[in-house]
Amino acid sequence: MAKYSIQVSELFHALADPTRCAIVGALAGGARPVSALAAPFDMALPSFLKHLGVLERCGLIRSRKDGRTRTCELVPERLCEAEQWIAQQRAMWEARADRMVDFVERLHREEQGK
């Protein structure tokens, strides 16, 4: 649990920035060369490359170089890990909420049965 939380918190750290969220959103539409990916952002290229570095180090994106062009693509498996972690917490919470409803309903029936 502890190890898994550390890994998943790294993914959330990578997504904890509006620029990096927007990069993930852009790459969800398909692989893009860095120059095309950077174009809509009002940001110096070195700053933009730092954001790409954060996403690449935690495995949310990968890049390859063809000649002078570097192309980035999303790694959906890593996105899945973050999604699954959240879904697990929600499922645990919902199971608990269901048990609470059952408990209150049982109390109510017992109260009526008296």
Residue 73 belongs to what H/E stretch? strand 69-74
Min separation Cβ 1 and a copy of itself, Å: 7
Q: Rounded to the nearest whole angstrom, what is the least distance from the CB of residue 35 to a copy of itself in the complex?
A: 20
CA distances from 13 to 18, 105, 106, 108 (A): 11, 41, 43, 45
Query: Which residues 44-103 are close enough to bind a copy of itself by CB under 8 A?
Result: 74, 76, 79-80, 82-83, 85-90, 92-94, 96, 100
Q: Which of 106, 25, 103 is nearest to 61 (CA)?
A: 25
In the list 12, 35, 103, 105, the residue contacting a copy of itself (rule: CB under 8 A) is 12
Size of the site for a copy of itself (CB under 8 A): 39
